[in-house]
Amino acid sequence: MQTNVAGRLAAAIVAACLGAVAPLARADETCLSPYMAALIKGQEAYLHVWALGEKGIGDESDKLVTIDVDPKSKTYGKPIDKISVGGQGEAHHMGFTDDRKYLWAGRLDDSKIFIFDVGTDPAHPKLVRTIDDLPEKTGYVGPHTFYAIPGRMVIGALSNTTHDGVTGLAVYNNQGEFLSAHPIPAENGGDGYGYDIAINPKKNVMLTSSFTGWDNYMRDLGGLVQDAEAMQNFGNTMVLWNLKSMEPEKVLAVPGAPLEIRWSLKDGDDWAITATALTSKLWLVRRDAKGDWGAKEVGTIGDPAKIPLPVDISISADAKTLWVNTFMDGKTHLFDISDPEHPTQIYEKTTGKQVNMISQSWDGKRVYITSSLLANWDKKGADNEQVLRAYDWDGKDLNLKFEIDFFKEQLGRPHHMKFSAAADKASP
């Protein structure tokens, strides 16, 4: 009898819930953690840009710059806020906490991590905490990727305190307290390098990629490419991890520094794609006919002989297309990946003298591009333009809507970008 009562009560609640709108996101604007809240499927209101400080530019400090990107706003296309964090520490990537209330931003040189409150007033973020214990707690340096899991942040580091690049993952809670470290395998096929993180929660799978150590990424690019021995010190692997145990399960050979990883967001898909910086290839990670995970080269980006250096990629929400930026030639490429085994380039445009990061809205109609790769890898002289460019994508062409010259505006070198919606003032 009591079971029946329970069943009726439960059924009543379930019935009351039918037909409701889910406020949660399966994934974020095409490239963030699948645990992320508050997906922006409409017009983003603000673009947060993590910018590197530059000697002789403004206050010379690394800073978080917030741009108004709402076309209906009077300040559309203008910087409306900036927060300097002090010094030049090689500002690089950012990531939201799972509740999207806080934005973590890392520096590759001094390994500091800055936590900004972007939930209270996204037009005017506030710096609320600085984490400086990553090297002490883990032996890792260069916090690169910030990937939210419930209540925690998984941080993918690039190097170690000896600067040779054998590194790992660190887990912090959302309060900024260190929890655990997980070394990237350096034996049995592993090379120990780290870069990006991407999780497929339904498969209990985490995938990581590999770049290079502090000795290389902090070195002038011109000298680096002439140093044959140093050029050997790049990652040639990806690692599949058991997400629950945070233990590596399988090392995949992916030569040429595989960088950004994007899982298909399409329901039922279980493949991921990446681009290799040094070999200019697209690689697909998926199961074979026997059910074993593997990686295979599936496409070429530009002319690899010219080393176009593919950097950031951005997958569409329907997993049919992939944007790829190549840094050296300043081109933005669009690939049809509806058959991920056979990507085909369908569009190409020169979008700058040097281009690095690329972010698209959920509907794919807006595309944002920034110029800076690394302070010592950016081009020199007149080719060292430092800009944010915002485009509309009409399905055939990228149409420039606005651009901001970060040097002219005394803001530094623009790198990673994240979207925010307008503040929701509602509260319980």
Partner 1 sequence: MLAPSGAEESAGGFGYPAPGSYRLDHIFRAPQGIVLEGSRFPHLLSSYTKGAITLLSFFYTSCVDPQGCPLAWEAFEEVRAAAIARSDLRGRLRLVFLSLDPARDKPGTLAAFSRAYESGSDSARWHFLTTYSDFFLRPLLHNFGEEIALDRAASAAGAPVFNHLLKVFLIDHEGDVREIYSNQSLDVSAILGDIETLLMEAGMRKD
Considering the complex, what minimum distance in angstroms separates the CB of residue 321 from partner 1? 24
d(CA 50, CA 193): 24
Q: Does 205 sit near partner 1 (CB under 8 A)?
A: yes
> Which C-beta is closer to partner 1: that of 309 or that of 317?
317
**CA angle centred on 298, ends 296 and 300, rounded to 5°:** 130
Residue from 150, 189, 222, 223 binding partner 1 (CB under 8 A)? 150
> Which C-beta is closer to partner 1: that of 203 or that of 353?
203
What DSSP string describes 182-205? Answer: EEPP-STT-------EEEEGGGTE
Q: Does 245 sit near partner 1 (CB under 8 A)?
A: yes
Q: Does 247 sit near partner 1 (CB under 8 A)?
A: yes
| Strand 205-208 to 293-300 pairing | unpaired
Q: Does 2 sit near partner 1 (CB under 8 A)?
A: yes
62 close to 87: Cβ distance less than 8 angstroms: yes
Q: Does 395 sit near partner 1 (CB under 8 A)?
A: no
d(CA 154, CA 198): 10
Element containing residue 131 per DSSP (H, E): strand 126-131
What DSSP string describes 196-258? Answer: -EEEEGGGTEEEE---B-HHHHTS-HHHHHT-TTGGG-B--EEEEEETTTTEEEEEEE--S-E
Q: Does 151 sit near partner 1 (CB under 8 A)?
A: yes
Considering the complex, what minimum distance in angstroms separates the CB of residue 342 from partner 1? 21
Size of the site for partner 1 (CB under 8 A): 57
Within 8 A by CB and 6+ apart from 345, the residues are 301, 333, 334, 335, 336
Tokens of 165: 């690049």
Q: Does 86 sit near partner 1 (CB under 8 A)?
A: no
The pattern of x and - marking residues 271 through 290 that bind partner 1 according to CB under 8 A reads ----------------x---
Considering the complex, what minimum distance in angstroms separates the CB of residue 98 from partner 1? 7
The pattern of x and - marking residues 89 through 108 that bind partner 1 according to CB under 8 A reads ---------xx-x-------
Q: Where does this chain touch partner 1 (CB under 8 A) — which range of 67-75, 161-169, 175-183, 310-318?
A: 175-183
Binding site for partner 1 (CB under 8 A): 2-3, 5-6, 9-10, 13-14, 16-24, 26, 34-35, 37, 98-99, 101, 119, 150-152, 171, 173-175, 177, 179-180, 200-205, 240, 242-247, 249, 270, 287, 291, 293, 424, 426-428
